[in-house]
């Protein structure tokens, strides 16, 4: 049976999934990820995304408020960023501070989850070797990571608990449970084998397909809401234009990467030749002999000579 074309999750987040009638999709994703029922109250732009106009082409951020008061930032990242982890931290700080007005008590700070769906390689163990001797083995990079704050004793190793009163108020046991949590889903590391509800969701996020037999919560709504044929002609045109721009951006990034690698190799070769030329000149060889042996120009040799004389 031919799989019908679905639109991408990022485009749907910007155009379709903020409609209350379609909350089932995001609710399904969050419920499967956190392994408990999440019911959404509202979806809007995240505060961090409103300020970062320069990253609109590579980042999609939404801010989700659940009925139980929990907050979620869902981010899809398409372009590489050296400061990616600091961006995650900034997003959490910005959104938390925005939802705590001046003068409000600290106990009204709500639990926030930062969920990143990343379309390129960020961090990872890179095939780290673990163990000793015959037990040594290569541990592959995972496709999903969870991060959170925990407070442990330097001597005892025990995790710091909330007081009895705090436990009653927050319905939590440890301090880290009321702190922000981070999830990073690295799509390129997923092997496309979907055996669990979470793997079915990651498969969809990576491939824009929901295969026959997938039963994860929310994917039935994905088949309906994200079906390309169900878009209006205007929506189809907007989606096609956005897809074309995304492909052109990807081509430009790839071309820049290739150019950078070629330039790096050329610069590396030149640096190597310069080092050889310096050694040959110190041994008393003439400029003409060094030019013939290294392939450098007379101007480059003269520059090397002048630099050596000023040291």
Average pLDDT in the chain: 82
DSSP string, 11-72: HHHHHTTTSGGGHHHHHHHHHHHHTS---EEEEE--HHHHH-GGGTTTEEEEEEEETTS-EE
Please check whether residue 244 lies inside any domain of the structure.
no
Same domain (yes/no): 51, 16: yes
pLDDT digits (tens, 9 = 90+) for 68-122: 999 999 999 877 677 888 888 988 988 888 877 656 788 788 899 999 999 887 8
Please check whether residue 181 lies inside any domain of the structure.
yes
Please check whether residue 241 lies inside any domain of the structure.
no
CB 206 within 8 A of CB 187: yes
C-alpha to C-alpha distance for 116 and 296, rounded to whole angstroms: 49
Which residue in the block uniquely carries the two structure tokens 């496709």? 143
Strand, coil or helix: what is 254? Answer: helix
Same domain (yes/no): 36, 70: yes
Specify the pTM: 0.73
Q: Average pLDDT, stretch 181-185?
A: 96
Domain ends where: 199, 231, 263?
Answer: 231
Same domain (yes/no): 68, 159: yes
The total domain count for the chain is 2
What pLDDT score does 87 carry?
85
Please check whether residue 2 lies inside any domain of the structure.
no
What pLDDT score does 128 carry?
58
Backbone angles phi, psi at 59, to 5 degrees: -135, 140
Same domain (yes/no): 219, 301: no
Please check whether residue 188 lies inside any domain of the structure.
yes
Domain ends where: 231, 265, 299?
Answer: 231
Same domain (yes/no): 57, 172: yes
Please check whether residue 4 lies inside any domain of the structure.
no
Same domain (yes/no): 186, 289: no
Q: The domain containing residue 103 runs over which residues? A: 9-231
pLDDT digits (tens, 9 = 90+) for 205-253: 999 999 999 999 999 999 999 999 999 999 989 888 877 766 655 554 4
Same domain (yes/no): 213, 174: yes
Please check whether residue 108 lies inside any domain of the structure.
yes
């Amino acid at each position: 049976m031919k799989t019908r074309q679905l639109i991408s999750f990022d485009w749907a987040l910007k155009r379709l999934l903020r409609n209350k009638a379609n909350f089932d999709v995001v609710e399904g994703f969050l419920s499967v990820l956190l392994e408990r029922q999440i019911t959404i109250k509202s979806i809007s732009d995240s505060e961090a995304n409103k300020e970062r106009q320069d990253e609109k082409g590579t980042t999609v951020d939404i801010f989700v408020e659940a009925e139980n008061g929990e907050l979620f930032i869902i981010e899809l990242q398409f372009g590489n960023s050296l400061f990616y982890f600091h961006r995650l931290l900034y997003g959490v700080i910005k959104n938390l501070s925005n939802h705590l007005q001046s003068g409000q008590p600290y106990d009204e700070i709500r639990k926030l989850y930062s969920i990143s769906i990343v379309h390129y390689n960020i961090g990872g163990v890179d095939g780290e070797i673990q163990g000793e001797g015959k037990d040594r083995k290569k541990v592959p990079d995972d496709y999903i990571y969870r991060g959170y704050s925990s407070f442990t004793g330097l001597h005892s190793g025990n995790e710091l608990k909330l007081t009895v009163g705090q436990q009653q108020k927050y319905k939590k046991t440890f301090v880290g449970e009321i702190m922000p949590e981070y999830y990073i889903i690295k799509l390129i590391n997923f092997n496309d084998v979907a055996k669990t509800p979470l793997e079915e969701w990651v498969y969809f996020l990576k491939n824009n397909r929901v295969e026959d037999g997938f039963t994860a919560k929310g994917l039935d709504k994905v088949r309906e809401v994200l079906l390309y044929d169900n878009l209006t002609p205007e929506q189809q045109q907007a989606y096609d234009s956005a897809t074309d721009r995304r492909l052109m951006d990807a081509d430009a990034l790839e071309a820049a990467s290739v150019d950078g690698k070629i330039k790096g190799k050329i610069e590396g070769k030149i640096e190597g030749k310069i080092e050889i030329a310096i050694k040959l000149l110190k041994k008393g060889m003439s400029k003409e002999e060094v030019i013939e042996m290294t392939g450098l120009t007379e101007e480059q040799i003269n520059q090397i000579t002048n630099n050596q004389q000023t040291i």
